[in-house]
Amino acid sequence: MEYILIGKIVDTHGIKGELRIKSNFEYKDRIFKPGFNLYIGKDRKKEEICTYRHHKDFEMVTFPKYNNINQVLKYLKEDVYVLKSDLELKPDEYLDSDLIGIDVVCDGEVIGTLKKITFNSLTNKTMEIDCHGKKLLIPYHRDFILNIDLQNNKMEVKLIEGMI
């Protein structure tokens, strides 16, 4: 079983056991819904989402067995995971973590390796490419990414003049 880190429980909300999760996960709409299983902490304690709502920058959840703040305090500051198999990704969908280390190709030439994907805002992610010792930043956007081939460990990109 492969667990994917999707966020962290940062606080409680109210007195009825609601938890506040900070998450930059790219497929939040698939996991934050009643009935979906989350795995919490180092021990990956399985909990099913009972209720969900989005509030400000947070994902707010409750679990069926807990209805009091004192029952959920044990989860504060814990990481939250999901099973990769539960995500049901389509063939053209990828997790950011699957792309780290992939070769980046432009015009048939390998220009570097993808080192990091930075989440800047809800609609803005940036790829950091190690380009022969130099750092190259490319927007994580379909206008720049032509093709992703995980089997051959490469991503084809289109750069605009002056990027390198």
Residue 49: give the domain boundaries.
Answer: 3-87
> Residue 35 phi/psi, 5° resolution?
95, -15
pLDDT band, residue 122 (cuts 50/70/90): low
**Is residue 25 over pLDDT 70?**
yes
Q: Is residue 164's pLDDT more than 90? A: no
Task: With respect to residue 164, please indicate whether it lies within any of the assigned structural domains.
Answer: no
Q: What are 54's strand-pairing partners?
A: 59
The CATH number given to whatever domain includes residue 72 is: 2.40.30.60
Residue 110 above 80 pLDDT? yes
Q: pLDDT digits over 15-24, tens only?
A: 999 999 999 8
pLDDT(120) > 90: no
Instruction: Give the number of other Cβ atoms within 10 Å of residue 2's Cβ.
Output: 10
Q: Is residue 33 included in any domain, yes or no? A: yes
DSSP-based three-state secondary structure for 138: strand
The residue-averaged pLDDT of 115-128 equals 85
Q: Specify the pLDDT at position 45.
A: 97
Where is 56: in which H helix or E strand? none
**Could you tell me the pTM of the whole model?**
0.82
* Helix, strand, coil distribution of the chain in percent, nearest 5: 10, 50, 40
C-alpha span between 23 and 60 (Å, rounded): 11
Strand partners, 110: 105
Compute the average pLDDT of residues 62-82.
97
Confidence of residue 13 (pLDDT cuts 50, 70, 90): very high
The token pair at 136 is 């190259």
Last residue of a domain, one of 87, 106, 123: 87
User: Band of the pLDDT at 121, cuts 50, 70, 90?
Assistant: confident
Query: How far is 126 from 128, CA to CA, in rounded Å?
Result: 6
| pLDDT category of residue 34 using cuts at 50, 70 and 90 | very high
Confidence of residue 1 (pLDDT cuts 50, 70, 90): confident
CATH number of the domain within which 147 lies: 2.30.30.240
